[in-house]
Amino acid sequence: MRSLRYGRVAAYLFTLLTLAFGMQALAQDAEDNLLPVTEAYKLSADASTPGVIKLHWTIAQDYYLYRGRMAFKGGNGVTLGEAKLPDGEKHNDPYLGPVQTYHHGVDASIPYTLAPGTTTLVMSVRYQGCHETDPKICYPPHTEQLSLPVPAAAGAPPSNKLNDLFHSGAQPLGGGSHEPLPAEQAFQLDAIAQDANHLLLRWTIAKGYYLYRDQTKLSVKDAPKLSLSPAWPAGTSHEDAHFGKTTVYFDELALPVGINGDTSGMKSLALVASFQGCQEGGLCYPLMTREAHVDLGGGTSTSMQTAANPAPEMPPGDATQNHSLDVNFFYALLLALGGGLVLNLMPCVLPVLSIKAISLIESGENPARRRLHALMYTAGVLVSFAVLGSVIIGLKTAWGAHLQSPLVVAVLALVMLAVALSMSGVVQFGASLGNTGSSLANRSGPAGDFFTGVLAVVVASPCTAPFMGTALAYALVAPIASAICVFLALGIGLSLPFLAIGFVPALSRWLPRPGRWMETLKEVLAFPMYLTAAWLAWVLAHQRGADAVGLLLVAAVLLAATLWWFERSRYRGALSRILVAVLALFTVAPLYYLATLPLAAQATASTDGVVAYSPDKLAELRKAGTPVFVDMTADWCVTCKANEHAVLDGDDFKALLKRTGAVYMKGDWTNEDPAISSFLQQYHSPGVPLYVVFPKDGSVGRKLPTVLTYSLVEQALTAAAK
């Protein structure tokens, strides 16, 4: 019966794998054909009829909207009735089941009532749609804010408390109590041509609002031979929670802009301005894009309106495409499965896999024990990935970001030390715990296998294997259920070798026979665990300095004493066991003081040709036409260190920088850094490493894979220098 139960579980797991591998991947080169969500589904509104607002979506070819995914919410003083929507086309959706969809276009009418004195109709419109030809992707739910004048209404000015304002994820800088203005009122922009080669842009900024200098981008539409050179006036220095030290403007900004190129024969040009601003002590607006046709004859002021086809909403910075949406759900599962499988080969996981290898060899010729080992290890991996994925999604953190906490690093180092001591034979867990558990490392019971799976996931988090980046980026923007499935697919990939050995007899025959030699092997394999603890101590030194390492060493000695006395007290009385608890409490005490230490002093000077990352410096280099290689790294990131050793620290890479005239800019994310976090979000990176090459012509930066080769870097920098 037990074998039958194991077989059913194995069949279920392998069925999932077969389904995942059976789905075809989307073509990566098709991403350029996807439209921004606001262009695929153009929304217009009409409030000319009192008591009713009419909405119309113009839906692009090969796109459709879900009827059941539409939602409407009134703003301050606005109460909406039930929306009237036509019946859609019936469709059996692979994810949502029976649904109704709209193609080409759809109209909706919504009755409303207003509170006394309300003169502005504010509402949010939420919808979701998909692209139905290759690449078949579904956009995440999208929300647009509408602010329309109410016909034949009078009263006090609207309060404009916009519920769920700006879905883009921009966070408030403070806890201001003033109600935010619509973006068009907070930042009014006009443009005038002084002559055929000079423009003057003027932002009128509402009182209590400010505009970022470095988040402002100007371009000329449909004129590739023309470029713009803004002459920025002195602004106000501002320490920003997101971008660090930056420059902002209050009240009014008059910006002279030079036009580079031949404008002879041109009567007007289409100017596109993207910018971002904030309310003091309040919210930060998402990236705003406005467009105007400026008369080059001069003398006419043009008010710039919101662009008809605005750029896709994303964190401030250079325009980049949302690579996390370049795959569908099943392809993301496939990538996650492959990434988890490759994760077994990463150096951060190998020490823990040595523990698992011992337990499998110990199982010998017993098929039932092999299956139990594989299933319990898989259960530990899957539960850990589910918990880790829930934390990352819920807290909107990045892969590996928990290692920015010195307390987490210290605890993990002590766990590695405890496991190593167990493998060295200093202590054996489980024998005196009321027989309710088994060993953490050197026993073969189910609890030990489960714990090994948990430990494998924890130590795998500093690594990013190939295929993982795209899968994790998809998970960060996907619905919660789909995101958790991606993390579980990572877990299945990580567990797959042991599942195969446990359930495929032909593979299990390759295992060596158990014997006395295994005890020696187990003791030898303890040393990679000691080295892992030493590496974590090195990471801690970079985070909190020598004092933190000293406290960790004290805790390590106390932990060794606790384990030693724990082993001695197995057959002694209650007093000995109380002493074990006292020693364990003493072990925790240094960790309390460690958590209170300040950040270690960081070297800020550029060394060996490496420039420390800052948004201002990057903007300065790009403005000067210098190609830039940006490296976002962390001391706890094993993949980062492997890339540095293999490529970035070598003489060939330094010679390549000189040959191409490129600047090597490095951002250290060992500790939390808002500017680097913003850069990671901008490029939809689930964590570090992140490598972006910016060409000298000022075009969009190119994101490189997480695992580098010299030829790949050489190709990217050579192209950037042209």
Residue type, position 547, single letter? D
Backbone angles phi, psi at 412, to 5 degrees: -65, -40
Contact predicate 253/202, CB 8 Å:
yes
Rounded to whole angstroms, the Cα distance separating 447 from 441 reads 10
Rounded to whole angstroms, the Cα distance separating 59 from 65 reads 8
Contact predicate 53/110, CB 8 Å:
yes
With 0-12 CB in 10 A as exposed, 13-18 as middle and 19+ as buried, what is 596?
A: exposed
Give the SS3 label for residue 541: helix
Residue 503, token pair as written in the block: 């359930």
Average pLDDT over residues 361-387: 81
pLDDT of 312 reads: 36
- CA distances to 427, 431, 565, 567, 579 from 571, rounded to whole Å, are 14, 10, 11, 9, 14
Rounded to whole angstroms, the Cα distance separating 629 from 606 reads 15
- Cα 175 vs. chain centroid, distance in angstroms? 26
Does the pLDDT at position 555 exceed 50? yes
pLDDT of 664 reads: 95
Backbone angles phi, psi at 552, to 5 degrees: -65, -40
Contact predicate 65/57, CB 8 Å:
yes
Q: What is the pLDDT of residues 403-413, one digit of tens each?
A: 888 998 999 89
Residue 466: band (very low, low, confident or very high) from pLDDT cuts 50, 70, 90: confident
Q: What is the largest CA-CA distance in the chain?
A: 99
Does the pLDDT at position 231 exceed 60? yes
Contact predicate 642/633, CB 8 Å:
no
156-160, 303-307, 702-706, 711-715: which is most confident:
711-715
Among residues 552, 522, 559, the alpha carbon closest in space to that of 535 is found at 552
Higher confidence at residue 459 or residue 457?
457
Q: What is the pLDDT of residues 20-56, one digit of tens each?
A: 444 333 333 444 467 888 888 999 888 888 788 999 9
Residue 553, token pair as written in the block: 């060493």
pLDDT of 241 reads: 63
pLDDT of 440 reads: 42
CB atoms inside a 10 Å sphere around CB 439: 22
- CA distances to 8, 424, 505, 687 from 5, rounded to whole Å, are 5, 35, 17, 39
Q: What is the pLDDT of residues 186-218, one digit of tens each?
A: 888 888 877 778 888 888 888 888 999 988 889
Q: What is the DSSP string of 632-700?
A: EE-TT-HHHHHHIIIIITSHHHHHHHHHHT-EEEEEE-SS--HHHHHHHHHTT-SBS-EEEEE-TT---
Whether the ω angle into residue 135 lies within 30 degrees of 0, i.e. cis, is yes
Rounded to whole angstroms, the Cα distance separating 417 from 563 reads 11
Contact predicate 409/536, CB 8 Å:
yes
- CA distances to 267, 288, 575 from 278, rounded to whole Å, are 35, 12, 63
Does the pLDDT at position 556 exceed 90? yes
pLDDT of 293 reads: 77
Contact predicate 110/83, CB 8 Å:
yes
Rounded to whole angstroms, the Cα distance separating 511 from 517 reads 14
Give the Cα-Cα-Cα angle 110, 111, 116 (nearest 5 degrees): 130
Q: Which of 11-20, 132-141, 225-234 has the lowest mean pLDDT?
A: 11-20
Rounded to whole angstroms, the Cα distance separating 28 from 451 reads 38
pLDDT of 297 reads: 63
Rounded to whole angstroms, the Cα distance separating 161 from 189 reads 23
Q: Which of 109-113, 393-397, 424-428 has the lowest mean pLDDT?
A: 393-397
pLDDT of 119 reads: 77
pLDDT of 125 reads: 92
Q: Please name the residues in contact with 482: beta carbons below 8 A apart, sequence gap of 6 or more.
A: 95, 329, 332, 475
Per DSSP bridges, beta strands 277-279 and 663-668 are unpaired
Does the pLDDT at position 531 exceed 60? yes
pLDDT of 628 reads: 95
pLDDT of 360 reads: 63
Rounded to whole angstroms, the Cα distance separating 393 from 140 reads 15
pLDDT of 325 reads: 43
pLDDT of 16 reads: 46
Higher confidence at residue 171 or residue 687?
687
Name residue, tokens 């992707």: 137
> Please, what is the average pLDDT of the chain?
77
Higher confidence at residue 352 or residue 23?
352
Q: Which of 45-59, 183-197, 296-310, 355-369 has the lowest mean pLDDT?
A: 296-310
Q: Please name the residues in contact with 215: beta carbons below 8 A apart, sequence gap of 6 or more.
A: 243, 275, 276, 287, 316, 317
Strand partners, 256: 200
Name residue, tokens 């109590």: 177
Higher confidence at residue 674 or residue 25?
674
Average pLDDT over residues 638-645: 88
First CA to last CA across the chain, in angstroms?
68
Residue type, position 109, single letter? S
Contact predicate 322/313, CB 8 Å:
no
Contact predicate 400/641, CB 8 Å:
no
Residue 57: in which H helix or E strand, if any?
strand 52-59
Give the domains, in start order, of the chain with CATH numbers. 34-149 (2.60.40.1250), 183-306 (2.60.40.1250), 327-595 (no CATH), 610-720 (3.40.30.10)
